[in-house]
A and B are shown apart, each in its own frame.
Chain A
Amino acid sequence: MILVYVDHDRGVLDELSLQALAAARGIDADVQAVLIGVDAVALAPRLGEFGVATAHVGVHDGLTDYAPMAAGRAVSQLAERLQPTAVLAAGSPRGNEVLAHAAAIMDEPFAADCTSITLGDGVSEVTRYRWAGNVFEEARVHAPMLYATTALHVFAADPQSGSAPAAIVEFAPDLTPADLAVRVLERTGGGGGGVSLAEAKVVVSGGRGVGEAGFGPLEELAELLGGTVGCSRVVTSAGWRPHAEQVGQTGTKVAPDLYIAIGISGATQHIAGCKNAKTMIAINSDPDATIMSFADYAVIGDAATVMPAIVEAVRAAKG
């Protein structure tokens, strides 16, 4: 049996966790889920569609919102009781965090961002990301129970219509005040009400080649296409754009339908954040820029002249 930590944000199911469920099902037909917080009760049955027979929901008075240390504690206690062969989660910020806590509590190893997992008796073999996926590591994990997360966008969620809803089993984790001390106290809106970079379907992203003053047409195009503006690390380092817009290894990793990379050479740390885009268009004056080998379409030219023309053409096309 494999136990998968399924994350949710105040009762909204984390779609990325479904990828972890898919990965788990590829290893073992017996997949159970663990969710934390009373908010999760309502969404747990839906997991049946993703092959989950039983969904364990940890309920505790102190668990009113995300609390990573407590979640890790709860997961580790459940795992200790259920003795799955592996505890998995999605390699999202929260998935990695909760499993790191659980593994640390159990003093077991933890392999983050795996692209393949082969369970063995006391030794599992994994392939995992290093350098945000620029390099793969083949590793052995020496542990009776594997703690691992799955690399994002590697495993596709595979809903099976007609499956029975998952059975819900509530459990009460044993949490200390210290575990509960780390929790979300308040939330503030990002302001502007725009589309979140991580979830945007279209990202219009600019690099050094756009220039500090050149982002206007990018903003216009993003608005016309219902997307949002991103940028490379050079741009945020130079202070041209806010850090929240940075796409890349240390910024936001995106997987939009369309990624337009303008004046971005394609440093590996940037590629790490955008290579999962369904379609990529690169606009660059250098036909040999690294980004070209990742792009589906290319326009050779300077952003300053190409972008206004594209904005104009798109505006005209929209009528």
Chain B
Amino acid sequence: MSNLPSSAKCVVIGAGIVGNSVAYHLARLGWTDIVQIDKGPLPNPGGSTGHASNFIFLVDHTKEMAELTLDSVRQYEEFGTFTKCGGIEVARTPERMQELTRRITSGKSWGVEGMSLLTPDQVKDMVPFIDETVILGGFYTEGVGVVDSLRMGTIMREKAVEMGALQSFANVEVDDLTVVDGRITAVVTDQGTINCEYAVIACGCWSRQIAAMAGAEIPLTPAVHQMKDIGTVPMFADAKGDIEYPIVRDMDTNMYERQHGTGLEIGSYAHRPMLYDAEDIPSNAEAALSPTEFPFTPDDFAEQDEYALELMPDIVGDETIGEKYAINGILSLTPDGMPILGETPEVKGLWAASAVWVKEGPGVGRAIAEWMILGEPEIDVHASDVARFYPQQTTTKHIKDRTAEGFNKTYGIVHPAEQWSSNREVRISPYFEREKALGAVFYETVMWERPFWYDSNAGLLEKYGDAVMPRVAEWDSRWWSPIINAEHLQMRETAGIVDLTAFALFDITGPGALATVQRVCMRQMDVAVGKVIYTPVLSPGGGFKSDLTVMRLGDDHYRVVTGGAHGMSDLKWFKDNAAPEATFTDLTEAMSTIGLWGPHARAILASVTDADVSNEGFGFGTCRDITIAGQTVLASRISYVGDLGWEIYVPMSEGLAVWDALWAAGQDHGLIPVGIGVYGTTGRLEKGYRAYGAELESEYTIIEAGMSPKKIKDADFIGKQAHLRQRDEPVATVMCLLTVDDHTSSTGEKRYMLGKEPILTKDGGPITDAHGRRSYVTSAGAGPSVGKHILMSYLPAEYAAPGTHLLVEYLGEQYPVTVEGSGAVFDAANDRILA
């Protein structure tokens, strides 16, 4: 019936809000040969877009999501499909009221305007059908609105067609994806094969199934979101538009209520997690309603009925108002709650644009198109990168466990350090049993169990007293322990051993190894064998792609060590940009890493090895094989905590012997086990070390990060041209360390910021740089050795001078802070590291 072309530059699979947006933005950026297919009819093919609630709240604690949402709103407005109605998140508990203040601070950090806290009476004024006595207050955002996502999709599709760039086909089902030599070459459909250079999977809850056809993983699961529409509501009977009252999110019950024409829509994320497989979703022909509208199960909505009745008794309690439409709507959930975007690491040219909600759909479409055509999106979407997953994170068990656990956090109060409880102890280091014996409190990073602090160090609390900067407020001290600061202080006195097994390691070997690392890394890589180089990796636009450590182990042999969280994305980036004749070997599962730092680190290491570990014999920034306990290990003299020491890379199977040898030797030197709380926060912050994903991201340049080398190497590298251009431009903002002058809140309690709070002028106004970026806390944590709470933030030059007094807003209150400068606040001369 349809006349599918036999070839296209790009096939967009899916005609929901995401597929339409991707197609439009690809066309807008100049691609002309795009084919879009969907197995359902248009304009509503039957996916999740068709039953979406279509409202958009602007504030999200995650910057990436907030930016995608704000961009999407701009696009919906541009195409006339956005109706602003305002939105109120109401609180039933004091804890939620605090959370609402936190949401305001996040909103300020990301540049959201028109936010305010409301009293119950003020909420009642705006939403007359609410029972204000069951709430303590509300958080109002003026810019909240409702979109017509189907109309938006149609407009975008039509615009792309008008540009002569897009052909769109409904009722075409994908049967297979053809991959040759690791590249997508064709999309096979029930109506013919389309040869293509690119394919974009924008199939929502079907994405995992489609990706599997090419051997790629898009780890998501279809899950149920229940909603019902009741009506006709007498007080809405004369409603002229779709929505005339602010949308209410009843956060503590995981629910929302919104006027929808003459009805009231009640939605819930509170019910038991109901997860399905894509195979469970019927075809359009089989489905009673649409494929993603499953029959409503009223038993699962029992509590929600009661909550809705409590909050809006005048409407919900009216027996004449019936449940006109109720569904178990299917949406896509991912194990970490983030979308899945970008080129799949398994198949070149095959892109994912999945697990995206209506609120961020257009923004995602733009980001994907920019990424495909320009090489990187304007909005940094690294947390959504499809390449982020390790194999352990794409198992069905992991997907089901984590989505089940995460589902009820949709409106939850999620502490920034909150840990997952399901599917733990999947990746454990060789030292796991030793650490458990020492009372390690484990946090998880990409499935690795990592000690965050050790209860065995609790005795140090007495030793250091108030120097551990104890926190009294429950929120500030949740997922935290003063033992972290005690470990920090002890490490600075003697030494600490740190389990860094979560690192990702990979070797690049062969004649193309040097060319590869030169091209990818900013720093000079053509160095002597045995050198260790910490280097930024730039995006094509000169922003941060990553920062990592590269060791030259031979003329044609480099080893890359990078953070676990971003390791797989880094590996993909190196591979994507590899020179010919470069071979990659992923050592992540084979090698573990032990960190040994502190003034006594050398003495400890010297006692277990014959190697010369003196400053002269083993200089900073060098690495070499040494023998410990009969095992050959690679030792590298670097430091991320500000003290003398080494990272020791040892095969997993031999790790325990090395750990035990170091541990035994350390007993005479005051060695303690030290957790990631020190490694990732306190030690790092005192030194002002920037972390990828916090300070470092593609939206900031290396110059702004204050990490630009004085000299740029001659060799070409990705981002070089952009960087050279940036060097001639005025610097809009600069990374600074700040310290908190006074922690005392209005109630006399001392409060400690946790990160992402807005930095404000002395007058309490927002600070915005020349590119419109707000200043916010990128990292926050104790500096026990300096006795100060340290914040990092980008600040425009006029605020960046050391000694400048500013404010930080935390949970609705403002606290004075002082700019310290761009560098370390502890041992700025690096005497300790270089000792």
A and B bind? yes
CA distance A285 to B170 in the complex (A): 11
Residues of chain B at the chain A interface (Cβ within 8 Å): 1, 41, 170-171, 284-285
B285 contacts A286, CB within 8 Å?
A: no
Closest chain B CB from A315 CB (angstroms) = 30
Contacts of A286 in B (CB 8 A): 41, 170-171
B284 contact set on A, CB distance < 8 A: 288
Q: For residue B231, give the distance in angstroms from its CB to the closest CB of chain A.
A: 12
Selected contact of B285 from candidates A285, A287, A290, CB within 8 Å: A290
A289 sits at the interface (CB 8 A): yes
Nearest Cβ in chain A — how far from B149, in angstroms? 19
Report B38 CB to chain A, min CB distance, Å: 11
Tell me the residues in window 283-306 of chain A with beta carbons closer than 8 Å to chain B beta carbons: 285-290
Q: Which residue of A lies closest to B171 (CB)?
A: A288
On chain A, which size bracket covers the interface? under 10
Given contacts A287-B170, A289-B41, 9 further A-B pairs with CB under 8 A are A285-B41, A286-B170, A287-B1, A287-B41, A288-B41, A288-B170, A288-B284, A288-B285, A290-B285
| Nearest B residue to A292, CB-CB | B1
The residue in chain B whose Cβ has the minimal distance to the Cβ of A266 is B285
Q: Which residues of B contact A288 (CB under 8 A)?
A: 1, 41, 170-171, 284-285
> 4 closest pairs, A vs B, by CB?
A286-B41, A288-B171, A287-B1, A290-B285
Docked CA distance A286–B40 (Å): 9
CA distance A183 to B170 in the complex (A): 55
User: Least Cβ distance of A298 to chain B in Å?
Assistant: 10
Residues of chain B within 8 A of A289, CB atoms compared: 41
| 16 A-B contacts (beta carbon < 8 Å) | A285-B41, A286-B41, A286-B170, A286-B171, A287-B1, A287-B41, A287-B170, A287-B171, A288-B1, A288-B41, A288-B170, A288-B171, A288-B284, A288-B285, A289-B41, A290-B285
Give Cα A25 to B171, complex, Å.
47
Complex alpha-carbon distance, A289 and B1, angstroms = 13
Contacts of A285 in B (CB 8 A): 41
Q: From residue B289, how far is it (CB to closest CB) to chain A in Å?
A: 10
Instruction: Closest B residue to A289 by CB, please name it.
Output: B41
> How distant is B176 from chain A, measured CB to nearest CB, in Å?
20
CA distance A101 to B130 in the complex (A): 56
**Which parts of A258-298 form the interface with B (CB within 8 Å)?**
285-290
How far, in whole Å, are A288 and B173 apart by their CA atoms in the complex?
A: 12
Q: How distant is A175 from chain B, measured CB to nearest CB, in Å?
A: 45
Chain A contacts to B: CB under 8 angstroms:
285-290
Within the complex, what minimum Cβ distance (angstroms) separates B3 from chain A? 12
User: How distant is the Cα of A85 from the Cα of B284 in the complex, in angstroms?
Assistant: 47
B202 CB, nearest partner CB in chain A, Å: 20
| Cα distance, A232 to B536, chains bound together (Å) | 65
Task: Provide the bound-state CA to CA distance between A288 and B170, in Å.
Answer: 9
- Give Cα A43 to B555, complex, Å: 109
A133 to B607, CA, bound (A): 88
CB distance from A240 to the nearest CB of B (A): 14
B232 to chain A, nearest CB (A): 11
- Nearest-neighbour CB distance to chain B for A265, whole angstroms, equals 9
Q: How far is the CB of B284 from chain A (nearest CB, A)?
A: 7
Bound complex: CA A289 to CA B284 (Å): 9
Give the residues in chain A near B41, CB-CB below 8 Å. Answer: 285-289
Q: Please give, as numbers and ranges, the residues of chain A lying within 8 Å of B1 by CB-CB distance.
A: 287-288
- Bound-state CA distance A287–B170 (Å) is 9
Which residues of chain B are within 8 angstroms of A287 by Cβ–Cβ distance?
Answer: 1, 41, 170-171
CA distance A286 to B1 in the complex (A): 12
A151 and B781 alpha carbons, distance in the complex (Å): 79
> Complex: how many Å from CA A236 to CA B149?
28
CA distance A285 to B371 in the complex (A): 35
B1: nearest chain-A partner, CB-CB: A287
Q: How far apart sit A290 and B171, CA to CA, in the bound complex (Å)? A: 12
A293: shortest Cβ distance to chain B, in Å? Answer: 9
Docked Cα-Cα span, A158 to B50, in Å, equals 51
Chain B's closest residue to A285 (CB) is B41
* Whole-angstrom CA separation of A290 from B285 in the bound complex: 6
How far does the alpha carbon of A10 sit from the alpha carbon of B1 in the complex, in Å? 52
The answer for the CA separation of A287 and B171 in the assembled complex, in Å, is 8
B285 CB contacts on chain A under 8 angstroms = 288, 290
Shortest A275–chain B CB gap in Å is 16
Contact residues in B for A290 (Cβ distance below 8 Å): 285
Give Cα distance in the complex from A289 to B42, angstroms: 11
> In the complex, what distance in Å separates the CA atom of A289 from the CA atom of B285?
8
Complex CA–CA separation, A226 to B295 (angstroms): 41
In the bound complex, CA of A288 to CA of B44 (Å):
13
Cβ of B171: which chain A residues have Cβ within 8 Å of it?
Answer: 286-288
Closest to A287 in B: B1
B173 nearest in chain A by CB position:
A288
Cα distance A12–B608 in the bound complex, in angstroms: 111
B286, closest chain A residue (CB):
A290
- Complex contacts, B170 vs chain A, CB 8 Å: 286-288
A303 to chain B, nearest CB (A): 14
The smallest C-beta distance from B597 to any residue of chain A, in angstroms, reads 65
Residue of B nearest to A298 (CB): B1
Measured CA separation A92–B171 after assembly (Å): 39
Q: Which residue of B lies closest to A288 (CB)?
A: B171
Give chain B nearest CB distance to A299 CB in angstroms: 13
A136-B580 Cα distance, complex, nearest whole Å: 65
Query: Bound state CA distance, A289 and B46, in angstroms?
Result: 12
CA of A290 to CA of B287 in the docked complex: distance in angstroms? 11
User: In the complex, A287 Cα to B41 Cα: how many Å?
Assistant: 8
Minimal beta-carbon separation of A82 from chain B (angstroms): 47
Shortest CB distance B129–A (Å): 25
User: Which B residue sits closest to A290, measured CB to CB?
Assistant: B285
Q: Which residue of B lies closest to A267 (CB)?
A: B288
Output the least CB separation between B725 and chain A (Å): 51
Which B residue's beta carbon lies closest to that of A293?
B285
A9 to B1 alpha-carbon distance, docked (Å)? 48
- A286–B46 CA distance with the chains assembled, in angstroms: 12
- CA–CA, A172 to B94, complex, Å? 85
In Å, the complex CA distance between A285 and B171 comes to 12
Query: How far apart sit A288 and B41, CA to CA, in the bound complex (Å)?
Result: 7
Q: Quote the shortest CB–CB distance from A164 to chain B (angstroms).
A: 52
Least CB distance, A307 to chain B, in whole angstroms: 19
Most buried by B among A285, A287, A288: A288
Complex Cα spacing A287 to B42, Å: 10
Q: Whole-angstrom distance between the alpha carbons of A285 and B285 in the complex?
A: 15
Measured in the bound complex, the distance between the Cα atoms of B285 and A311 in whole Å is 30
CA distance A285 to B1 in the complex (A): 13
- Closest chain A CB from B534 CB (angstroms): 57
Question: Cα distance A287–B284 when bound, in Å?
Answer: 12
Q: Which residue of B is nearest A268, CB measured?
A: B288
- Nearest A residue to B39 via CB reads A288
- Of all chain B residues, the one with the shortest Cβ separation from A284 is B41
A298 to B285, CA, bound (A): 18
Which of A285, A286, A290 is most buried by chain B, counting CB atoms within 10 A of its CB?
A286
Closest B residue to A300 by beta carbon equals B1
Q: Least Cβ distance of B40 to chain A in Å?
A: 8
Q: In the complex, A286 Cα to B171 Cα: how many Å? A: 8
A289 to B40, CA, bound (A): 10
Q: How far, in whole Å, are A148 and B285 apart by their CA atoms in the complex?
A: 34
Bound Cα distance A285, B42 (Å): 8
Instruction: Give complex CA distance A291, B8 in Å.
Output: 32
A287 to B1, CA, bound (A): 8
A288 to B1, CA, bound (A): 9
Expressed in whole angstroms, the Cα–Cα distance for A222 and B251 within the complex equals 53
CB distance from B723 to the nearest CB of A (A): 52
Q: How far is the CA of A287 from the CA of B39 in the complex (A)?
A: 12
Once bound together, how far apart are the Cα atoms of A290 and B1, in whole Å? 15
- With A and B bound together, what is the CA distance between A312 and B285 in angstroms? 33
Tell me the smallest distance from the CB of B283 to a CB of chain A, in Å.
10
Q: How long is the Cα–Cα vector from A286 to B38 in the complex, in angstroms?
A: 12
The minimal Cβ–Cβ distance linking A248 to chain B, given in whole angstroms, is 14
- Closest chain-B Cβ to A233's Cβ sits at a distance in Å of 12
> Within the assembled complex, what's the spacing in Å between the Cα atoms of A171 and B284?
57
A228 vs B284: C-alpha distance in the bound complex, in angstroms?
30
CB distance from B439 to the nearest CB of A (A): 62
- CB B603 to nearest CB in A, in angstroms, measures 76
Considering the chains assembled together, what is the distance between the CA atoms of A288 and B190 in angstroms?
A: 13
